[in-house]
Amino acid sequence: MAVFQWSGKTTRGIIESGEITAATKEEVIALLGRRNIIPTIITEKQKKVRILRPGARIKDKDIVVFTRQ
């Protein structure tokens, strides 16, 4: 399941936004519809990628696990 960021209007015209976990965009639309929210924007939230920065130390435990594999 993915995390989606959404923005939409309620039946009263109030703009709301948030995050919701669902399998597809269609499921997000259905879930928001049950809350009486008409979605205007739905985007899948990107996962953050951890990048090992230069000079960062690798833990001894990680090296041991890696070499045993």
pLDDT band at 66 (very low <50, low <70, confident <90, very high): confident
Among candidate residues 31, 33, 30, 40, the one with its CA nearest the CA of residue 8: 40
Q: Which residues pair with 42 in a beta bridge?
A: 6
> Mean pLDDT over all residues of the chain?
89
- pLDDT tens, residue by residue, 2-33: 999 999 999 999 999 999 999 999 999 999 99
